[in-house]
Amino acid sequence: MTVDFAARLQVVVARIRSAEMRFGRPSGSVGLVAVSKTHPAADIAAVAAAGQRGFGENYWQEAAAKLPALVALDLEWHFIGPLQANKTRSIAEQFAWVHSVDRLKIAERLSQQRPTALPPLKVCLQVNVSGEPSKHGLDASDLPIVAHAVAVLPRLRLCGLMAIPAPATDFAAQRRPFARLRELQKALIADGLALDTLSMGMSDDLEAAIAEGSTLVRIGTAIFGARA
């Protein structure tokens, strides 16, 4: 069975535009990262042919296997997965964005390793808004010090914050952690940082994220289908 990726992409874009309208956000103010982890290069090419340019990957090895087949398409790559120190060079060379920076040491490596021929690497700090001890992301209490330190690294541009809240089914519960991330961003802006990005919202909670100010949603399943 062939999958109609263009139709799926259209449904997701319509959900985004409709949530923008419903929550009083300017049309086009929410960007879309298509999360292609576990899906083959051919599917990424099909989604790109339908008009999508930004794609997200979680694992360097997997991305490295797919990227060569896609270089001609001039896609914008977003790294959204856990960061290991020994993979930062490849990520700094191949990606336009890293959403999952969760410690200063990793940010320093990315800045040192970002090639000077490329524009600064855009980064978000990942925050553990649900307060789950096992989860990735900075504690909110550590965020201000780390944010100010990352903001001055020469080869990075600190754009904003990212979160992956624990799944919740009702809308009010989905909104709460996103509202928390927005408040954290507001405090950093009041403290002098020029942040314009909130990377939040996935297939099941993108409306709640847009209601709370998301500027980039990261959508996998609703575009590519279920992961094995």
Ligand X SMILES: *Cc1c(COP(=O)(O)O)cnc(C)c1O
Residues that bind ligand X (CB under 6 A): 35, 37, 58, 80, 164, 202-204, 218-222
What are the structure tokens assigned to 57, written together? Answer: 């990957």
Q: Answer for the pair 123, 150: CB distance below 8 angstroms, yes or no.
A: yes
Q: Answer for the pair 154, 190: CB distance below 8 angstroms, yes or no.
A: no
What are the structure tokens assigned to 66, written together? Answer: 């797919």
In the complex, the smallest distance separating the C-beta of residue 64 from ligand X, rounded to whole angstroms, is 17
In the complex, the smallest distance separating the C-beta of residue 225 from ligand X, rounded to whole angstroms, is 9
What does DSSP assign to residue 26?
P
What are the structure tokens assigned to 226, written together? Answer: 């279920």
Nearer to ligand X, 30 or 164 (CB): 164
In the complex, the smallest distance separating the C-beta of residue 80 from ligand X, rounded to whole angstroms, is 4
Tell me the DSSP string of 133-170: TTS-SB-GGGHHHHHHHHHT-TTEEEEEEE--PPP-SS
User: Which residue has the closest beta carbon to ligand X?
Assistant: 220
Nearer to ligand X, 92 or 98 (CB): 98
Q: Among residues 151, 156, 62, which one has the least CA distance to residue 109?
A: 156
Q: Which amino acid is at 178?
A: F
Angle at 202 between CA 197 and CA 208, to 5 degrees: 75
In the complex, the smallest distance separating the C-beta of residue 152 from ligand X, rounded to whole angstroms, is 26
Nearer to ligand X, 150 or 217 (CB): 217
In the complex, the smallest distance separating the C-beta of residue 124 from ligand X, rounded to whole angstroms, is 11
